[in-house]
Chain A
Amino acid sequence: KAGVTQTPRYLIKTRGQQVTLSCSPISGHRSVSWYQQTPGQGLQFLFEYFSETQRNKGNFPGRFSGRQFSNSRSEMNVSTLELGDSALYLCASSLEFAGDEQFFGPGTRLTVL
């Protein structure tokens, strides 16, 4: 069974731009969660999607948004990028709940210049 895939793996953007990251969960997994990992703040929960609906949201500004498609694939979008948005963005999928065993993708490394 293929693992969680994330594209692109690396991305360089400038301040003010927007970015879209993509995540394909493991086949059969319906819950997709997104996390931001930085040296300063550690690993922080962004949001969780299930059946095309956002089920939970972390404490991030509205510039961070996401969606999930009917095939469970998910995208997250960050608008008006700031330098502090530079981070590793991790996606994780699980069968039904974020509390089930989560399988993480390798992440997308976003650098904002």
Chain B
Amino acid sequence: GEDVEQSLFLSVREGDSSVINCTYTDSSSTYLYWYKQEPGAGLQLLTYIFSNMDMKQDQRLTVLLNKKDKHLSLRIADTQTGDSAIYFCAEMKASGGSYIPTFGRGTSLIVHP
């Protein structure tokens, strides 16, 4: 199976909170990332969390990490139509003096009025 798993779709109403979930398998991962991809564009780093943290908040974004269950979530408060995009989680594993990322398949977030 895949190293990093995400649900494929999430639909929310504008103004509600969105929660995108991700599970990973490598407990030695040191960084876990959330990226956003809008149509026709590359990936944009939204936020990241170190594996020794449980939570990180950055404006409307909250990342929760449960190391025991290898579960990562991204909460977007007050979701706006401009938040519609594909969201990828990624884990970074140390290799060859650097890091190799493994991405999930991405969750398509659809925000409707």
Give the B-binding residues of A (Cβ under 8 A): 4, 31, 33, 35, 42-45, 48, 50, 55-56, 58, 90, 92, 97-99, 101-107
Give 22 A-B contacts (CB < 8 Å), ordered by A residue: A31-B98, A35-B103, A42-B105, A43-B88, A45-B100, A45-B101, A45-B102, A48-B98, A56-B96, A56-B98, A97-B99, A98-B100, A99-B30, A99-B31, A99-B92, A99-B94, A102-B43, A102-B101, A104-B43, A104-B44, A106-B40, A107-B41
For the complex with contacts A42-B106, A98-B98, A102-B45, 16 further pairs of A-B residues with Cβ separation under 8 Å are A42-B2, A43-B103, A45-B101, A50-B98, A55-B96, A55-B97, A56-B95, A90-B43, A92-B43, A97-B98, A97-B99, A101-B48, A103-B45, A104-B35, A105-B42, A106-B40
The prevalent SS among residues of B at the interface is strand
**B104 — which chain A residues lie within 8 A by C-beta?**
42
Smallest beta-carbon distance B5→chain A, Å: 11
Q: How far is the CA of A14 from the CA of B8 in the complex (A)?
A: 32
**B88 — which chain A residues lie within 8 A by C-beta?**
43
Given that A42-B104, A42-B105 are contacting pairs, would A98 and B44 also be in contact in the complex, using a CB cutoff of 8 Å?
no
Most buried by B among A56, A90, A101, A107: A56
**B45 — which chain A residues lie within 8 A by C-beta?**
101-103
**B35 — which chain A residues lie within 8 A by C-beta?**
104
Smallest beta-carbon distance B70→chain A, Å: 18
The prevalent SS among residues of A at the interface is strand
B42 and A98: CB pair below 8 A? Answer: no
**B106 — which chain A residues lie within 8 A by C-beta?**
42-43
A106 and B41: CB pair below 8 A? Answer: yes
Q: How far is the CA of A42 from the CA of B43 in the complex (A)?
A: 13
Smallest beta-carbon distance A78→chain B, Å: 19
**B48 — which chain A residues lie within 8 A by C-beta?**
101
**B2 — which chain A residues lie within 8 A by C-beta?**
42
Closest to B105 in A: A42
**B43 — which chain A residues lie within 8 A by C-beta?**
43, 90, 92, 102, 104
